[in-house]
Amino acid sequence: MDDLAAIFKALSEPNRIRILKMLEIRPLCVCEITAVLDLAVSTVSKHLSILKACGLIYDVCENKWVIYHLNRRPGSKYVREISQLLKNWLADSEIVAADRRKVNRVDRNMLCRK
């Protein structure tokens, strides 16, 4: 019950939904997500930790980046079934479409090498 409520809570924040919809395009590092959402890095990191804590996403260290992936084989049946619904939703959302265009333009090598 509390597990389930925690999953719903994770999904109750529009910025976190945007992150999940972005990750459907491709795995992303923190700085790429930050660039798309236009929030402070620490804020994005916190959102990611919440999504990760309930199993919606997972992360992999790669070179100097932490790459976040959509979890396509979740252990929890709640996560599995809700993720499946979410994948089919918001295809017509203008915000999601705009985020995805930005995802295609953004490149961690450009963003982070100063």
Q: Does 11 sit near its own copies (CB under 8 A)? A: yes
Q: Which of 17, 23, 36, 106 binds its own copies (CB under 8 A)?
A: 17
Nearer to its own copies, 31 or 100 (CB): 100
Q: Is residue 44 classed exposed, middle or buried when 0-12, 13-18 and 19+ CB atoms within 10 A define those classes?
A: buried
Name residue 57's beta-bridge partners: 70
Give the separation between CA 2 and CA 20, rounded to whole angstroms.
22
The nearest distance, CB 55 to its own copies, in angstroms, is 15
Stretch that binds its own copies, among 11-19, 37-45, 51-59, 102-110 (CB under 8 A): 11-19
Q: Is 98 in the site for its own copies (CB under 8 A)?
A: no
According to the binding rule CB under 8 A, does residue 85 interact with its own copies?
yes
Q: Does 106 bind its own copies (CB under 8 A)?
A: no
How far are the Cα atoms of 1, 10, 15, 49 from residue 78, in angstroms, in the given order?
A: 11, 13, 21, 18
- For the chain, what's the residue count? 114
Q: How far is CA 58 from the centre of its chain?
A: 9
Residues contributing to the site for its own copies (CB under 8 A):
1-2, 4-6, 8-9, 11-14, 17-18, 77-78, 81-82, 85, 89-90, 93, 95-96
